[in-house]
Amino acid sequence: MRKLHILKLPSWHIPHRGFVRNQAHVLIEKGLIVNVLANISIPLTHYKSKYFTLPHKAFVNEEDNLTFFSHYFRDLPKLQKINAKRWIKSTVELFEKYVQKFGNPDLIHVHSAIWGGYAAYLIKEKYNIPYIITEHRGRFGQSCDYAKNLFVDWQTPLLEKAFSEAAAIVPVSENLVPKIRSFLKKDVLIHPISNVLNTDFFHYKSREISGKIRFVTSSSFDRAKAYDILLPAFDRACDEMPNLELTICGGKFAGNQNFENIWQKIKNKNIFRFAGFQNAEGVREKLWQADVYISASRIEAQPVAVLEALSTGLPIICTTVVPRMVANAENSVVVPVENEEELKNAIIKMAKNHQKYDGKSISEHIKSVAGKEAFAKAIIEIYKQVLEQK
């Protein structure tokens, strides 16, 4: 029987890590042919030394036993609309070169409608190749004004075409569905499926009792992660419970003026541990050393960092952006976004009750939602439905 040929089309690409890579490896294990079309955006402001020297032609590269057909796309500073249209055109051209080398895929699996979804729509119009969209962007959750303001008028017709012409839409959270539906001009199958996680790697481990109640979070400094809410809330909780500590895995703190503005108002500075950016092994070790995971995100679709924490058996504090299929009464305390008082109260509540949570059950739940077998079964079923209708 001929193997299915699936082409992953991410709207952004992070070399050597990310959910596209994780999904592809699972599907390859299940006997599918999976390649990745990676049109890698290179902003001039971030890559000054490489902007003009990186290759201009498409090239094939192998990363972790996965084939990438790649190209470096050079963004123009401060021209979002023009860059979107340029990237879409460049991606369609890259696909045409891919076909010459690898042949037509059976199906294109887009990761985020912005703007791989519109590129896939144009490809479908020319080649009659169906596509599905996995939507990862937290802005579709409409969790706060900041998320809502990320949508601008010129994007609407592109999103309408991208979503409406998809054979199926697979948001990573049910929270994204209402906004996605607002762009649909006809009925399209929408079926939420979790991001996949290597639950064998992020496995349960019992914790040693410590004199401190050890919280941990894993994200770099960014407005979406709401450190302007998390740090003051934790600082205030420490006024009532001085035996707390918070370890932060992530970067972009040093030299960041926005962080410094928050940090100078923190009184209990000694209870914060900045661990810097950690690889997967480092993150896992920090999770195994903690009692509680905490996330204050104001924008999120389905944070993989939360899945990792739960998979190791940690109870969590999170905001309502985390989907209900992940956060429930048995594993979490959930608070509204951008609410420092509620977050402070949740920290105190969890500090008093964290030992009541069943870590093994928490871990097993995440395996049933985001483990390799659960993901593969769900997404391959979507592939089959789409191809049967072709």
Provide the CATH number for the domain around residue 375. Answer: 3.40.50.2000
- Kindly state whether residue 205 falls inside one of the protein's structural domains: no
Torsion of CA 25, 28, 32, 37, to 10 degrees: 40
Model pLDDT, residue 65? 86
Q: Are residues 15 and 119 in the same domain?
A: yes
Minimal CA–CA distance to 87: which of 43, 35, 147, 28? 43
Q: Are residues 190 and 217 in the same domain?
A: no
Count: domains in the chain: 2
- Kindly state whether residue 225 falls inside one of the protein's structural domains: yes
Sheet holding 131-134, edge to edge: 59-63, 66-74, 33-42, 5-10, 107-111, 131-134, 168-169, 189-190
Q: Are residues 158 and 222 in the same domain?
A: no
Distances (CA, A) of 42 to 53, 136, 138: 11, 21, 22
Model pLDDT, residue 234? 98
Q: Are residues 235 and 342 in the same domain?
A: yes
Q: Are residues 272 and 356 in the same domain?
A: yes
Task: Report residue 383 CA to chain centroid gap.
Answer: 21
- Kindly state whether residue 206 falls inside one of the protein's structural domains: no
Q: Are residues 365 and 375 in the same domain?
A: no
Model pLDDT, residue 1? 57
- Kindly state whether residue 201 falls inside one of the protein's structural domains: no
- Kindly state whether residue 208 falls inside one of the protein's structural domains: no
- Kindly state whether residue 27 falls inside one of the protein's structural domains: yes
Q: Are residues 12 and 160 in the same domain?
A: yes
Q: Are residues 50 and 77 in the same domain?
A: yes
- Kindly state whether residue 124 falls inside one of the protein's structural domains: yes
- pLDDT tens-digit readout, 355-368: 999 999 999 999 99
Model pLDDT, residue 51? 65
Minimal CA–CA distance to 134: which of 307, 37, 8, 300? 8
- Kindly state whether residue 261 falls inside one of the protein's structural domains: yes
Task: Report residue 203 CA to chain centroid gap.
Answer: 20
Model pLDDT, residue 47? 64
Q: Are residues 385 and 318 in the same domain?
A: no
Model pLDDT, residue 18? 82
Model pLDDT, residue 208? 86
Where are the extended beta strands (E) located within 103-222? 107-111, 131-134, 168-169, 189-190, 213-218
Q: Are residues 239 and 342 in the same domain?
A: yes
Between CA 67 and CA 269 the distance in angstroms is 46
Q: Are residues 171 and 243 in the same domain?
A: no
Global confidence as pTM? 0.94
Model pLDDT, residue 210? 85
Between CA 69 and CA 98 the distance in angstroms is 7
Q: Are residues 380 and 363 in the same domain?
A: no
How many other C-beta atoms lie within 10 A of the C-beta of residue 13? 20
296 neighbors 343 (Cβ within 8 angstroms): yes
- Residue numbers of the domain that contains 268: 213-369
- Which helix (H) or strand (E) covers residue 348, if one does? helix 340-353
Residues in the chain, pLDDT under 70: 1, 15-17, 45-49, 51
